[in-house]
Amino acid sequence: MSAPLLQGRRALVVGGGGEIGAAVAELFAVNGAAVVVADRPGTIASRTITASSRFETVDIDVTDQSSTRAAVAAATALLGGHVEIVVNSAGILEQVAVREMTLAQWQRTIDIDLTGTFLVAQAVLDPMLQAGWGRIINVGSQLGLLGGQTLAHYAAAKAGVIGFTKSLAREVASQGVLVNTIAPGPIDTEMTARVDEAWKKEKRADLPLGRFGTPAEVAPTALLLASDPGGNLYVGQTLGPNSGDVMP
């Protein structure tokens, strides 16, 4: 029997209080990784992680650099070594038309969905580079490629995640740190449940698969990117478990 794909690896899943992050954390743990989940205080306890492998939690505010660095330091202590794999899955989704959008709504989405990705990546990067191995997996969205009516701030942030991923990948791939984006299509989660039914009905009709995905269908893409040798040739890529919404 072959060893689990992530046997002995140390992983941090940011945004693990959400369904996609929780599914990734569970799959990583099942596959042998020591996992720390980070999210806002009070959001993690509501998730049940059934994996039998080691699983720890820390609080984080991804919009705050001090909080981000403290969470990475806490995760490092819990894991008994530096973070080798990080998944940036923290995000918010609020539906509003551009002409009705407040600056505060725009800025909050950019701060969490884009700036938070930057802050976490920056906080974990140096030890990865020193070790000559690391995986940074950012969760974007297919709307970062397509745009989205009444979701311009979200689409803009996710497009930024894709551009940030490509740029960072070019900086660090030669030093053994691989950076990639997962850009899911619509996924049935609490976040998408807040989008109006008319939008969802129209989107389902546009999808070649005819349905939204589930978090468990997204998590295996993160496992592929985190694994060795499975993820070894992915550099600055955008992988799309998106029900056929985007076909590059």
| Selected residue with higher pLDDT from 185 and 248 | 185
Neighbours of 66 (CB within 10 A): 9
Closest to 11 measured CA to CA, from 192, 183, 149, 133: 133
Q: What is the mean pLDDT of residues 64-70?
A: 98
Q: Do 49 and 21 meet the contact criterion of CB atoms below 8 Å apart?
A: no
Separation CA 55–CA 141 (nearest Å) = 27
Q: What is the pLDDT of residue 95?
A: 94
Between 202 and 124, residue with greater pLDDT:
124
Say whether pLDDT at 39 is over 90: yes
Which residue type occupies 199? W
Cβ neighbours of 174 (radius 10 Å): 8
Mean pLDDT on 149-168: 97
Q: In which band, very low, low, confident or very high, does the pLDDT at 52 lie, cut at 50, 70 and 90?
A: very low
Long-range contact list for 103-111, CB < 8 A, 24+ apart?
105/153, 106/153, 109/153, 109/154, 109/157, 110/153, 110/156, 110/157, 110/160, 111/63
Active site residues: 154
pLDDT at 179 over 60: yes
Give whole-number Cα distances, 213 to 41, 87, 218, in Å: 27, 19, 8
Q: Mention every residue, 6+ apart, whose C-beta is less than 8 A from residue 111.
A: 63
pLDDT score of 54 more than 70: no
The pLDDT of residue 148 is above 80 = yes
Give me the domains of the chain, ranges plus CATH numbers. 10-239 (3.40.50.720)
As a whole number, the mean pLDDT across the chain is 92
The dihedral region occupied by 80, where left means phi > 0, alpha psi between -120 and 50, and beta the remainder, is left
Per-residue pLDDT averaged across 84-98, rounded?
Answer: 96
- Sheet of strand 177-182: strand arrangement: 55-59, 34-39, 10-14, 85-88, 134-139, 177-182, 238-239
For 203, the enclosing helix (H) or strand (E) is: helix 197-206
The per-residue pLDDT for 203 is 85
